[in-house]
Amino acid sequence: MTTTVTTPPLAAPAGARMFLKLLARIRRGHLELITPDGARMVFGNAHDTEGAALHVHDWRACQRILAAGDIGFAEAYAAGWADTPDLTALMRLALRNEAALDQMLFGGALARCWYRLRHWLRPNSRKGSARNIHAHYDIGNDFYQLWLDSTWTYSSAIFAGDYSQALESAQLRKYQRIIDTLQLRAGHRVLEIGCGWGGFAVHAAQQGIQVHGVTISPSQLEVAHQRIAALKLGDLAQLELRDYRDLDGQYDAVVSIEMFEAVGERYWAGYFETVAARLAPGGRALVQSITIGEEFFPRYRSSADFIQQYIFPGGMLPSVERFERHAARAGLQPQERYAFGPDYAETLRRWDADCRAKRPAIDAQGYDQRFMRIWHMYLAYCEAAFDEGRTDVVQFLLKKA
């Protein structure tokens, strides 16, 4: 039986008492917290329908969060020191109260410097990119196959307001929108930078479009080759293990779907120069990228978050403004942009639900409890960011001058 209390338990260590004191600043929504000794505390407006719950099993969770922000929470959550029945709701509540919960989100100055240094030491040079991509995409095709749809697509779908449709249909809608926007027809030659498991290449080749796709993930390429061979599309879709910086030749169009996030800010200029060089005069490129609001970019850039530390080492999101500015400098004029952030939130919800449904099969593959809790936090963390408009996903149409 829990009891509602308004002051920190006397048994709580100093770090935990400071943590609870900061929670008292919550103004939007409410948080119900259960302490290790079973006490119940409610912070914020208890009558607000928007709320979340947090069960602290070990007081060490509080100190870890204060020290390292979202990274600290991820570590505490992975260790089982803290839990919640709805991780996405907890993330949304934190974002809505960001100013009040600053240290809980970003951690202390020492930790911020340390994690930023670690991020800086994971550059996306040719060797660094292969290492960073391997850390995420080569963890196991069998794992991804369990919860991705039949198109093997690991990027946002486009639901266009119809959330009753199957994820596979929404992914194919996304691919077709790219083809229609670029006005691609049979016989056109397209370069795909970051071809993944071959989703776009298969869809385009089935319409007679010639696709040259490159990836630096051996695991992804293995599946992509199998799919191309099974559908007898080898004459139209040629996929290879190659860094985009080592390409030559020119194409009618360039497609790049959520690969830009892995480029790294110090390599943005080179990326756009490569895209421009690979396009024939007047050619167009469509780049789909996750973006972060410009107002949040300076702080994001000066630190390193949970995603960069545990999910996508070397990753960096652009703001819309910075993306288009760098593209223009390389002679790629922005033509239009299509944003569909809410669809990414829905895509992530589907992935998370499928991961949960396939948990016995994932366990059988040898993935432990810590891995699954980190993975669940990754999906919920991103879902909350799209729900709250902190991040967006945009298809940028660029034309070579």
Contact (CB, 8 A) for 66 and 107: yes
Residues with Cβ within 8 Å of 99's Cβ and at least 6 positions away in sequence, in order, are none
Contact (CB, 8 A) for 375 and 355: yes
Report how far residue 347's alpha carbon sits from residue 31's, in angstroms, rounded to the nearest whole number: 26
Report how far residue 80's alpha carbon sits from residue 103's, in angstroms, rounded to the nearest whole number: 21
Enter the tokens of residue 392. 């967006």
Nearest CA to 351 out of 376, 372, 368, 371 is that of 376
Angle at 395 between CA 389 and CA 401, to 5 degrees: 135
339-355 in b/e form (b: 16+ CB < 10 A) is ebbbbbbbbbbbbbeeb
Contact (CB, 8 A) for 320 and 291: yes
Return the HEC string of 184-229: CCCCCEEEEECCCCCHHHHHHHCCCCEEEEEECCHHHHHHHHHHHH
Beta carbons within 10 angstroms of residue 335's beta carbon: 13
Contact (CB, 8 A) for 205 and 230: no
Beta carbons within 10 angstroms of residue 191's beta carbon: 26
The residues annotated as belonging to the active site are 382
Instruction: Report in angstroms the alpha-carbon separations of 102 from 21, 75, 109, 120, 341.
Output: 13, 18, 12, 23, 24
